Structures are given as C-alpha cells and as structure tokens.
Amino acid sequence: MIDTRLAGQNVLVTGGAGGIGAAISRAFAAQGARVAIHHLAQDPPAPEGVEWAHLTPAPNAAEDLAEELGGIAFSADLSAPDGPRRLVEAVTEHLGPINVLVNNAAHCETPDTVDALTPGSLERNYQVNAIAPALLIAELARRHSGDAPLCVVNVSTDAARAFPGQIGYGTSKAALEALTRATALDLAPRGIRVNAVAPGPVQTGWMTQDIFDHSTAIVPMGRVGEPDDIADAVVFLASHQARWITGQVLQVAGGHAL
C-alpha cells in the first residue's frame, strides 16, 4: 500500500460539502488528514434572467459531513474581497497551519454565451474561480514558515480548453490554470508545490438522462466521471508520491477534450 504521508496533515477544501468537493473531503479523511470543509452559507439572489448552475448544498450539509469525517466546517463568501483571508485565519486558528489547500469552490451560471456576457457575469466568475484561489494561495504562502509541508491543488475543468456556451466559466478556469503555472514557479524555491486537475463531465446530480447519455457517448473511455475519480487524482497530487511534481494540469476526463 502506498503511504501518502497525509495522516495528521491539515487540509482545507473549498466548496468541500457537496459533489466533487465532498468526495475530496472524504478522500483526505480516509488518509488520516484533518479536513476543514469550506462552504457558502447561502446563495445570493441571482440577477434577473440569470440562474446559478452551482448551488450550495442543503443546509447543514457541511456540518454533517464534518461530523462524519471528524473534521470541521467553515463558512465564508469567497466572492468578498476579505473572504479568503478570513477563511485562512479561521482554519489556522482552529487547526493550526494548513498543509494542503484544495481550491475546489466554483461559480457557474447560465446563460454564459458571448451574447449574455456582462461586467457582472464576468466579475462573478472570475472572483470565485480565479481571484479567490490566487488570494488563498498568497495568504498561505505569506504564512508558510518552511517547517511544514504545503501544497495546493486547484480544480479546473476541461471547459478551460474550449467550451462553447460557457465563456465566463471556461475562461476563468483557464486563468486558474495559468495561475497554477505562475505560482508554481514563484513558490517552488520555497518548497511549495502547486498543481491542478481538470475534470471532464462528472455526474454530481446535475445531468439529466439526455445529458448523461450524450456525455457517455463522447467520452472515449465510455463513461462519465464520478466524484471519486477526481478526488483520487487530487489526493495523488497532494501526496508524497507527487513530491517532485509542480505546475502541472492533470486532465481527469477519460480522454474527453484531448
């Protein structure tokens, strides 16, 4: 059995209460890590004509998962300018220094076509999908003493390559991948690794049967992804086995969008 050397480490998973985030939280807990599960307490009202594609999990989902895993839940609005700093402060105060940051929280809305783009839609996508991860990484880097391990895994999407109809979402995730490479180079001399995973179509409950069937047909490996597929890749990139890997975007998509 491979020893990931994650036992006893403090792991912060943003958006860690539902879907892929919950699978990531469970996967780290299974390795003996102490998991801080970030969540958004309540979705803000959507502007007229806009629908949120990513909704917050049910009330108490984060607290229930934290109780199940022996972790702790933290609420923070990552779209707020001080949200990332407050989150890091709260987690550090309760658990101590953070060893692994998983930037999984995301904003996605419809419509997201070129014709539908507005300053507000772009700001909402970039604030959560690119700016907040950058601020979280910077906050942890400033606090890093070098005495304990620190690595970051960003959760992107293969929509970052090209995904018609998801302009704001896809380009903000492309920015996240660029952030992965840039921060990896800046932080490598300090012993901090930064990588990313780029999931393909994953069934977290949002796919209708038609979407599921279509996605299954276009994925070369013949099935859509499951949250555990992504979680396992995230844990690998955070593990001791990935100790000389940084600045990489690992596509976890069954061959989709190569």
Distance of alpha carbon 128 from alpha carbon 33, whole angstroms: 25
Catalytic residue (one of 28, 74, 126, 169): 169
Instruction: Output the CA torsion 194→195→201→205 (10° steps).
Output: -40
Q: CB 146: neighbour CB atoms within 10 A? A: 9
Token couple for 248: 């990489």
* Closest by Cα among 242, 35, 6, 196 to 104: 196
What is the total residue count of the chain? 258
Residues 6+ positions from 206 with CB-CB distance below 8 Å:
53
Give every strand in the sheet of 72-75, ordered side by side: 72-75, 34-39, 10-13, 100-103, 150-155, 192-199, 249-252
169 is catalytic: yes
From the DSSP assignment, how many helices (H) and strands (E) are in the chain? 8, 9
Catalytic amino acids?
169
